[in-house]
């Protein structure tokens, strides 16, 4: 099976041909936004990090920004820096340049002012725009696709309709030689013993279990022992209101998204996957942070199931929304792409809806816009912080 994609300099394939304007530090956000506003095809990715970070906290920021820029959906990159940030714009620039992708940078301190930096940035962005317009869609094998799996605002129906449906989609894509990434470590707690049996090697199983245990320990240590007696009590208010009673119940429904394939790899947050097939990535359960990690990992498309509804999208990757129930689909039809509610009312099977999603993914990969793109939603870019390093610095300064 084929789709129409953009073949990049490193032979990776994008499903979009975006021009990204990425600040290396939050201080450059406004300048970056004003530069991007001059080219309709440009996507700005503002964030709140890049300054005064150390240790793992800094490593996550640097890795995320570098790998987001290297995602094949992005044809060219303009980096906007201030000049004194911890994650330097020069390091960022070199990491993208080495890939062969068209890249330019603007450093505000070197130019002199925001107004001058915007002017220079617009000129450089125009040159990049001309370069990426040389890319045209070509037929490529579906094995070039990497799809990320996400759920947000789950309800009691998510684990028996939308999640199993994209599990079928996942199996189909893996069967065609493609790659799938599942994540949200907080929402795997209580079902890790099931996933362990599906790991292809002991090494993959050990890494996945270690990351899940670390997250579980952090959750327990950061909450009141009087309020949270055990791990089954750690459930979000939104999920609870939607009919999901415990974190274990959420996990048992969540893992249906992964289908039945063997788990080939396990990676840290925002690391690029190296294996085709099904992969696990350690991410928080927060929708924006998890989706950001998936795109940095190489996902060109996100499959996002929801039972309560969300309009959110990602700046440089199409986010396909699948509702778990038909009432939600009718209420948010402008935001939801596919209704899996037919599984609940007996009108459709899990297999049928899974195939519908698979066919839709191929269309999206070839250029069909999803609802989030049409509506202009781009809220899901969010880099997590590792606050324990900030706390340690504060203690050492006393």
Give the CATH number for residue 324: 3.40.50
Answer whether residue 347 is part of any domain.
yes
Q: Residue 104 belongs to what domain range?
A: 18-134
Task: Compare 28 and 233 and report the one with higher pLDDT.
Answer: 28
> What's the average model confidence in pLDDT over 14-23?
98
Same domain, 176 and 286: yes
Summarize pLDDT for 143-173 with one digit per residue, the tens: 999 999 999 877 788 899 999 999 999 999 9
Same domain, 120 and 251: no
Q: What is the pLDDT of residue 253?
A: 78
Same domain, 89 and 158: no
In angstroms, rounded to a whole number, what is the distance separating the alpha carbons of residues 99 and 117?
25
Answer whether residue 309 is part of any domain.
yes
Same domain, 147 and 30: no
What token pair was written down for 82? Answer: 């201030």
Answer whether residue 313 is part of any domain.
yes
Instruction: Look at strands 301-306 and 338-339 and give their pairing.
Output: unpaired
Same domain, 153 and 125: no
Question: Rounded to an integer, what is the distance from CA 397 to the centroid of its chain?
Answer: 36
Which residues are bridge partners to 19 per DSSP? 42, 76
Summarize pLDDT for 337-394 with one digit per residue, the tens: 999 999 999 999 999 999 999 999 999 999 999 999 999 999 999 999 986 544 444 4
In angstroms, rounded to a whole number, what is the distance separating the alpha carbons of residues 99 and 146?
19
* Neighbour tally for 345: CB within 10 Å: 10
CB contact at 8 A, 383 and 56? no
Answer whether residue 337 is part of any domain.
yes
In angstroms, rounded to a whole number, what is the distance separating the alpha carbons of residues 263 and 265?
6
Distance set, CA 136 to CA 17, 261, 272 (Å) = 9, 33, 25
Last residue of a domain, one of 134, 152, 182: 134
What token pair was written down for 262? Answer: 């063997």
Same domain, 86 and 184: no
Answer whether residue 369 is part of any domain.
yes
Residue (of 230, 263, 281, 224) closest to 64 by Cα position: 281
Summarize pLDDT for 102-136 with one digit per residue, the tens: 999 999 999 999 999 999 999 999 999 999 999 99
Answer whether residue 293 is part of any domain.
yes
Number of domains in the chain: 2
Angle between helices 89-97 and 55-70 (to 10 degrees): 40
What token pair was written down for 313? Answer: 């999208």
Q: What is the pLDDT of residue 248?
A: 67
Same domain, 79 and 156: no
- CATH code at position 122: 3.40.50.2300
Q: What is the pLDDT of residue 362?
A: 98
Q: How long is the chain?
A: 398
User: Distance from first CA to last CA of the chain, Å, rounded?
Assistant: 62
Answer whether residue 397 is part of any domain.
no
Same domain, 109 and 37: yes
Answer whether residue 12 is part of any domain.
no
Question: Rounded to an integer, what is the distance from CA 111 to the centroid of its chain?
Answer: 33
In angstroms, rounded to a whole number, what is the distance separating the alpha carbons of residues 90 and 46?
18
- Unique residue bearing structure tokens 């605002």: 153
Burial label, 274 (beta-carbon count in 10 A; 0-12, 13-18, 19+): exposed
Last residue of a domain, one of 114, 134, 154: 134
Instruction: Look at strands 179-182 and 277-281 and give their pairing.
Output: parallel
* Neighbour tally for 60: CB within 10 Å: 22
Question: Rounded to an integer, what is the distance from CA 299 to the centroid of its chain?
Answer: 7
Main-chain phi, psi angles of 321, to 5 degrees: -95, 130
Q: What is the pLDDT of residue 395?
A: 45
Residue (of 51, 10, 38, 35) closest to 298 by Cα position: 10
* Neighbour tally for 341: CB within 10 Å: 24
Question: Which pLDDT band, with edges at 50, 70 and 90, does 306 fall under?
Answer: very high
pTM, whole model, 2 decimals? 0.92
Residue (of 127, 269, 114, 244) closest to 185 by Cα position: 269
Same domain, 104 and 202: no
Same domain, 276 and 164: yes
Main-chain phi, psi angles of 20, to 5 degrees: -100, 135
Range with lowest mean pLDDT among 81-90, 141-150, 219-228, 379-388: 219-228
């Amino acid at each position: 099976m084929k789709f129409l994609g953009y073949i990049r300099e490193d032979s990776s394939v994008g499903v979009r041909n975006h021009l990204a304007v990425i600040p290396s530090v939050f201080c450059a956000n406004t300048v970056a936004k004003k530069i991007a506003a001059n080219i309709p095809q440009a996507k700005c990715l503002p964030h709140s990090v890049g300054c005064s970070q150390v240790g793992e906290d800094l490593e996550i920021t640097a890795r995320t920004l570098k790998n987001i820029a290297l995602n094949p959906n992005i044809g060219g990159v303009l980096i906007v820096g201030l000049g004194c940030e911890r994650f330097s714009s020069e390091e960022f620039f070199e990491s993208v340049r080495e890939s062969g992708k068209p890249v330019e940078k603007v450093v505000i301190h070197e130019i002199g002012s925001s107004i001058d930096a915007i002017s220079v940035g617009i000129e450089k962005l125009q040159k990049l725009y001309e370069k990426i317009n040389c890319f045209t869609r070509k037929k490529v094998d579906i094995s070039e696709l990497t799809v990320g799996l996400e759920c947000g605002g789950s309800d009691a129906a998510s684990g028996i309709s939308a999640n199993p449906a994209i599990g079928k989609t996942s199996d189909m894509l893996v069967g065609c030689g493609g790659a799938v990434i599942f994540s949200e470590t907080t929402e795997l707690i209580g079902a890790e013993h099931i996933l362990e049996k599906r790991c292809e090697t002991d090494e993959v199983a050990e890494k996945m279990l270690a990351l899940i245990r670390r997250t579980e320990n952090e959750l327990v240590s950061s909450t009141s022992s009087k309020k949270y007696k055990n791990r089954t009590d750690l459930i979000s208010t939104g999920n609870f209101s939607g009919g999901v009673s415990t974190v274990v119940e959420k996990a048992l429904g969540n893992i249906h998204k992964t289908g039945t394939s063997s788990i080939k790899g396990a990676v840290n947050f925002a690391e690029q996957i190296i294996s085709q097939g099904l992969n696990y990535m350690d991410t928080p359960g927060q929708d924006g942070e998890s989706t950001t990690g998936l795109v940095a990992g190489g996902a060109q498309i996100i499959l996002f199931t929801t039972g309560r509804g969300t309009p959110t999208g990602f700046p440089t990757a199409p986010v396909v929304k699948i509702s778990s129930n038909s009432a939600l689909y009718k209420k948010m039809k402008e935001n939801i792409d596919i209704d899996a509610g037919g599984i609940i009312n007996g009108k459709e099977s899990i297999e049928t809806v899974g195939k519908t999603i698979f066919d839709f993914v191929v269309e999206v990969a070839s250029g069909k816009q999803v609802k989030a793109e049409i509506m202009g939603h781009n809220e899901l870019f969010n880099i997590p912080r590792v606050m324990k390093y900030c706390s340690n610095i504060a203690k050492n300064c006393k």
